[in-house]
Structure 1
Amino acid sequence: MPLTERIETAIANALSLAQGGQAPSRLAAAIEYATLPGGARIRPTILFSVAAACGDDKPDLANAAAAALELMHCASLVHDDLPCFDDADIRRGKASVHRAFSEPLAVLTGDSLIILAFETLARTAEIDETRAARMILSLTRRTGMPNGICAGQGWESEPHIDLGAYHRSKTAALFVAATELGAISAGHDPEPWYDLGALIGEAFQVADDLRDALMDTSVLGKPAGQDDLHGRPNAVAQLGVKGAFERLSDILAGAIASIPSCPGEAALAEIVRLKAQSIMPKVPARNRA
């Protein structure tokens, strides 16, 4: 099965748990709206790539992990767009959930996706109890406090922000979850995979900072200039455009070098290179000065 099809099938199977029966129709519709169609699905792609490099001996575990991770990511986007945070009108080129369905339903949509993510992982205990428990723990640690995406959002309310801790929590945490979950699903120790996830996440954040500063809303599919508008710490403000591009290249090189020794190491390195090209902001070289 092609990777894209595998990702979408896994997500659709997870979403089916929230449909049917006596489910409130508008909330059910909002949950689908928040997840379908998706974005680049880069996190589940990384997860599957790591699982494959480690043998992927129980693919149903990797399928559930990939779906849970993407549901958690979508939940974070729904909450990020709320008026109390970014107050964003669009996401992925369409109205944000709170604009399309109302603020109360957006809150419930994000909450429901979080719960659905953990339910999806919990059901894998029927396949392998030990791996299921380790996957749940990994996703919990990368979404809550003190180092998960909740902490990342919390840093924005602090009077003084630790930029490294902010980026590790806000963006890198779910990429770390991707590499850890991929390894765990295939029966491998997740610890050696931390650096790869953290570096990919840091690269993604720097690339996002560059896109926010250099591209417009019509291209991004979400509001541009948000870092400047909200006074957030970011790589462009700290390093300048040229410095941010240089930093991005250095991080991506480090990510490839960090891949642990495994049967699929060479294939995984090529996938990381391709993903690196896909996240590189598409702006003219003259604008990088």
Structure 2
Amino acid sequence: MAIRERIEASIAGALEVSRDGPAPPRLAEALRYAVLPGGARIRPTILLSVATACGDDRPALADAAAAALELIHCASLVHDDLPCFDDADLRRGKPSVHAAYSQPLAVLTGDSLIILAHEVLARAGDDLRALRLIRALTRRTGMPHGICAGQGWESEPEIDLVAYHRSKTAALFIAATEMGAIAAGHEEEAWHDLGALIGEAFQVADDLRDALMDADTLGKPVGQDALHDRPSAVSELGVEGAFARLDDILAGAIASIPSCPGEAALARLVHLQADLIVPKARAGSRA
């Protein structure tokens, strides 16, 4: 089964867990709305690609890890879009969850997805490997190094830009590479830098898209960094400087891939993701 098919099947299975027994119908519907149809599924794709490169000796566990990671990502989008944060009414080309279902249900949807992610992993196994997966996901979700910390930096009078980007965007990419290695029985430390660099690249690319592209093309509001006076690679380095930084980071990410049977395939994956994000932003800069 192809990686994308594995991801979608594991997410569908996870959502069925959320419907096990009587449940509030609108909240159950909002959970599915937040997750389906998905975006690029980049984080779980990286996770399963790393697991495959490391041998993928327990594919069911790797699939559960991929679903859990994507559920956390979707939860973060639901919360990010709320009026108290980005106040975005559009996500993936359709109304955001709070616009479609109300703010209270959006809060509950995000919370429910976070809990569901951990339940999916808990159901997948009760051995040390499964426990390490739960620990890795939790570490990159909360404080002080997870996506909650990334959102928290936006409320500080002074922002550590490196820490802000590392926790806001890179955290789940670090989780992807670390969890992929763990799922296949490997130690995660060697895979930290690859995730951190991919995450940094996506943050710079996201800053560029926010500054240069339009909402119809991107499928969500643009100009949010300037509107909310948030730090970004574009405000710090300028457009050309941000593009140069992006190229440097991607080269470093490829160089950081640990030696493994699937090393060449992973390098091709990073190149592929670069081809997906860089031309779109560059096209915007020429518009």
Superposition TM-score tier, normalisation by shorter sequence: over 0.9
Unaligned runs of 5+ in 1: none
Residue pair 1:242, 1:288 contacting (<8 A) in 2 also: no
Q: Which residue of 2 aligns with 1:138?
A: 136
Residue pair 1:181, 1:190 contacting (<8 A) in 2 also: yes
Instruction: Please show how residues 213-232 of structure 1 align to structure 2 within 5 Å.
Output: 213-232=211-230
Q: Which residue of 1 aligns with 2:81?
A: 81
The one of 144, 147, 163 equivalent to 2:145 is: 147
Residue pair 2:212, 2:284 contacting (<8 A) in 1 also: no
Task: Provide the rounded CA distance (Å) in 1 between the counterparts of 2:238 and 2:164.
Answer: 19
Q: Which residue of 1 aligns with 2:156?
A: 158
Q: How many residues align?
A: 287
Normalising by structure 2, we get a TM-score of 0.98
Unaligned runs of 5+ in 2: none
Q: Which residue of 1 aligns with 2:72?
A: 72
Residue pair 1:139, 1:177 contacting (<8 A) in 2 also: yes
Residue 284 and residue 217 in structure 1: after superposition, are their counterparts in 2 closer, same or farther (change >3 A)? same
Q: Which residue of 1 aligns with 2:123?
A: 123
Residue deviations 1:207-260, cap 9 Å, x none?
A: 000000000111110000000000000000000000000000000000000000
Over aligned residues, Cα RMSD in angstroms? 1.3
Residue pair 1:52, 1:264 contacting (<8 A) in 2 also: yes
Residue pair 1:210, 1:281 contacting (<8 A) in 2 also: no
Residue 236 and residue 281 in structure 1: after superposition, are their counterparts in 2 closer, same or farther (change >3 A)? farther
Residue 191 and residue 286 in structure 1: after superposition, are their counterparts in 2 closer, same or farther (change >3 A)? closer
Q: Which residue of 1 aligns with 2:197?
A: 199
Task: Provide the rounded CA distance (Å) in 1 between the counterparts of 2:172 and 2:282.
Answer: 30
Offset of residue 283 of structure 1: 4.5
Residue deviations 1:16-38, cap 9 Å, x none?
A: 10014211100000000000000
Task: Provide the rounded CA distance (Å) in 1 between the counterparts of 2:221 and 2:168.
Answer: 18
Instruction: Please show how residues 26-65 of structure 1 align to structure 2 within 5 Å.
Output: 26-65=26-65
Q: Which residue of 1 aligns with 2:247?
A: 249
Residue 285 and residue 220 in structure 1: after superposition, are their counterparts in 2 closer, same or farther (change >3 A)? closer
Residue deviations 1:19-70, cap 9 Å, x none?
A: 1421110000000000000000000000000000000000001000000000
Offset of residue 287 of structure 1: 3.0
Residue pair 2:47, 2:179 contacting (<8 A) in 1 also: yes
Offset of residue 183 of structure 1: 0.2
Offset of residue 179 of structure 1: 0.2
Return the letter of the residue paired with 1:246.
A
Helix, strand or coil at the partner of 1:262: coil
Q: Which residue of 2 aligns with 1:106?
A: 106
Task: Provide the rounded CA distance (Å) in 1 between the counterparts of 2:82 and 2:7.
Answer: 27
Residue 101 and residue 263 in structure 1: after superposition, are their counterparts in 2 closer, same or farther (change >3 A)? same
Return the letter of the residue paired with 2:163.
A
Residue deviations 1:264-284, cap 9 Å, x none?
A: 111111111111111215255
Residue deviations 1:56-94, cap 9 Å, x none?
A: 000001000000000000000000000110110000000
Q: Which residue of 2 aligns with 1:170?
A: 168
Return the letter of the residue paired with 2:162.
G
Return the letter of the residue paired with 1:124.
A
Return the letter of the residue paired with 1:168.
R
Offset of residue 124 of structure 1: 1.8
Residue pair 2:133, 2:183 contacting (<8 A) in 1 also: yes
Residue 124 and residue 237 in structure 1: after superposition, are their counterparts in 2 closer, same or farther (change >3 A)? same
